[in-house]
Copies of this chain bind each other. A is one copy, B any other.
């Protein structure tokens, strides 16, 4: 019997059998053992872990082991900017923010304004940049740390990624990209190159990166895992979520092209109520009488699923709601009303955070501690451990992050690279990294360092 569902990076169709998907994709089930270890290290389990919304992984056990050994890890996720974000888009960000809080993580968020532009004939680059700004505000509103989070747009940060991107690109043929990303001969040459820029952030630090994302994104990372070690980096670990079901029914995933399938972050309270009442697929019976007699089915009821996935965090309450609904004590309308209240409460808080976030975009993109360090790095190759030690010794305060530097051609990459070197020498010089004076004053130091570079 053929599967009655499809999951690819560009399509989710049918009622997904997640156990089967683990088998198909060859990922690992998120076991109770792993969850216990997360709880031990984090002090608690996020609601989406308790409820199996995150249900599958690759190398999460390694992440936890390396964390326990003091090596640490970092998190990477991203967003293809769109006109409006819906509730489903927030899932990986909500979870990543929790990870950041519990593990004190550096978090990198890639805004793929290039991909969005390249993939959609009718979209222009100015549009994707406008959307990026709006989406970034929604992402910041989730509550990420301003000094441990770097949000970057490809069309800007490519300057620091390209040398490593060509190394990644050289290891991916058109045939491979075609199979993995659903391309063909009529695809444009920009979208064909783009996967290289999606892979580079998995190599931003010289330790393992964890990617929280929908399981449909897994194929993207298989290519990364095939090549990462040959470039001197780590295979990316992943933790995979299920799809928050669309309002319209338990199949597929929410889609911006079907507005009634989703709640948008800017939907006002009335709109939320109307959409839930009108569209939220119900597992209840046709009449009040039948509902009282036979009860509803929470397993297919989208309102219940949304409460279960995230919006009712209290385990006792969600169990009671489930029992009441299944037994017929609770009517569909009552269940929907609970969701409406939870959603409107969430969205009200979100919008307040978002208003503040609009003023903080530059902190996350350019000026925060992690962001400003990242703008001074050119990604190309991880230095050896001994070189890192040398740099720390010479520079004193050399940031632990600045360990991906070009190996040769000091003057070639001079602006950004020497800015990196000046970091440890004089923080005030950073502001003037474009100046020839600073560049020249760094040369003697660059020469010394380059000896170690070569080793």
A binding-site residues for B, Cβ under 8 Å: 114, 117-118, 125-126, 129-130, 132-133, 153-156, 158-160, 162-163, 165-167, 169-175, 177-178, 183-193, 195-196, 361-362, 366-367, 375, 380, 407-409, 411-415, 419, 430-437
Contacts and interface: CB of A to CB of B under 8 A. Distances in A.
A279 to B, nearest CB: 35
11 contacts: A129-B412, A155-B413, A158-B162, A159-B159, A165-B190, A170-B191, A189-B193, A361-B411, A362-B436, A431-B437, A432-B434
A379 to B, nearest CB: 11
Contacts of A435: 431-432
Contacts of A409: 126, 129-130, 133
Contact of A187 (B156, B173, B375): B173
Given A156-B412, A158-B158, A434-B434, A380 B125 contact: yes
Contacts of A196: 189-190
Contacts of A415: 366, 375
B162 A189 contact: no
A160 B163 contact: no
A382 B380 CA distance: 32
Nearest to A170: B188
Closest 3 CB pairs of A and B: A159-B159, A169-B190, A193-B193
A413 B166 CA distance: 23
A224 to B, nearest CB: 13
A431 B431 CA distance: 8
A333 to B, nearest CB: 45
Contact of A190 (B118, B159, B166, B431): B166
A259 B39 CA distance: 66
Nearest to A363: B436
Contacts of A191: 169-170
Given A159-B159, A431-B437, 14 more contacts: A129-B412, A153-B412, A155-B413, A169-B189, A170-B190, A171-B188, A173-B188, A174-B183, A174-B185, A174-B187, A361-B411, A366-B436, A431-B434, A431-B435
A166 B125 contact: yes
Contacts of A183: 174
B156 A126 contact: no
A378 to B, nearest CB: 9
A173 B160 contact: no
Nearest to A362: B411
A445 to B, nearest CB: 17
A409 B130 CA distance: 7
A190 B411 CA distance: 24
A130 B170 CA distance: 19
Contact of A158 (B153, B159, B177): B159
Contact of A155 (B130, B154, B166): B166
Given A193-B192, A196-B189, A170 B118 contact: yes
Contacts of A166: 114, 117-118, 125, 155, 190
Given A366-B414, A375-B434, A185 B189 contact: no
Contacts of A129: 408-409, 412
Nearest to A187: B174
B159 A177 contact: no
Contacts of A158: 158-159, 162
Contacts of A184: 174
Nearest to A413: B156
Nearest to A438: B431
A195 B186 contact: no
A186 B174 contact: yes
Given A170-B118, A196-B190, A409-B126, A160 B162 contact: no
A153 B378 CA distance: 15
Nearest to A158: B162
Contacts of A407: 126
A436 B159 CA distance: 19
A436 B362 CA distance: 9
Nearest to A411: B362
A341 to B, nearest CB: 37
